[in-house]
Structure 1
Amino acid sequence: TGFRAPSLSELAYNNGPFAFGPAASLALDEETSKGFDLGLNYYGASGLELGAVYFNQLIEDEIFFDLINFFGYLQATGDSKSTGVELFFDFPFSEQWRVFGNATYNDTETPDDLQRVRRPEKIANLSAEFRTLDQRLTVLANLRYSAASEDELFGVGRLDLDDYVVLDISANYQLTERTEI
């Protein structure tokens, strides 16, 4: 079980000059949540790690910012849900190379039986890491994928977001024991 009190920012916004309509002076209650996850991990002698996790979360009285009318912070009446599965792996296939990743399926639902906004249904990451033998240089490439997500926009309402793929590449080099670039 979980508990999240309204933040000072959320309370101040609703009691300030920018909130109007149903959000103006709305006394926000705390969010509460109930959930569980069940996971299974495998650790191989070669360093291979495989895992699977099932998760199920129920959020009551979710606090959210109204991005359609910009009234302010509102509170959902009812339960928001999130259930899904995550699979992951990590494989150091040599002393210098490692590949790892994860894939998540997340089925979400608002009290109005709609998909929760900005909660992609499908997410995947695939990464490769190289380290020099002296451990001073690390190069990392990470490919991220996100699909089946919705948003709410002022004057438009709900809309499907485009699926996307992002490639991040980074490098770190340790100059001295206390300095890294």
Structure 2
Amino acid sequence: MKEIDQQILEKIQSPFSRELGYRLLIETYQKKVYQVVRRMVLIHEDADDLTQNTFIKAIRNLEKFEGNSSLFTWIYRIATNETLSFLEKKKKRFFFSVDDHQEKLESYLDQPGNLSGDEIQLKLQKALLKLPEKQRLVFHLKYQEELSYEEMAEITGTSVGALKASYHHAVKKIEQFVLAE
């Protein structure tokens, strides 16, 4: 276990420094969690809410953390599950078909000032929206977060082989979309 994780857990376990431990936990991992969530949901307000929900859930369930992985990996898994659940609920709540949901997010990308980047970055973001959520998540974890397949397996609870296949399919779909544009 990382030294910072050990410090955080020690502070949280002591009634005298528990609040400090919670603050340290959030300060240490909030930015990374927000970035991952934001890449999945695109909209700042949604990413902000999901990040907050992730830490609430993590703090409430900290006694279940066994220390088999890093604290960040454990929190990352909570964030991933929260985000995938949110996206699924959002589609159902607003009765979006998959195409309508993608169209709405694409129009969000086209609005000035929502995401910075050049034409290629915009194409990549639009291509990512065409992917199923789980493939998009795997692509983000591998390509943008530069995690190993082993780390990804720990976060997602998926086998390394399945993750490699998902990543391969995601890359092929992105290539097809970008070349077709």
Larger RCO of the pair (alpha carbons < 8 Å, separation 6+): 2
Give the structure-2-normalised TM-score.
0.21
Structure in which a larger fraction of residues adopt strand: 1
- Name the TM-score, length of structure 1 as normaliser: 0.21
Larger Rg computed on CA atoms: 1
Question: Which has a greater percent of helix?
Answer: 2
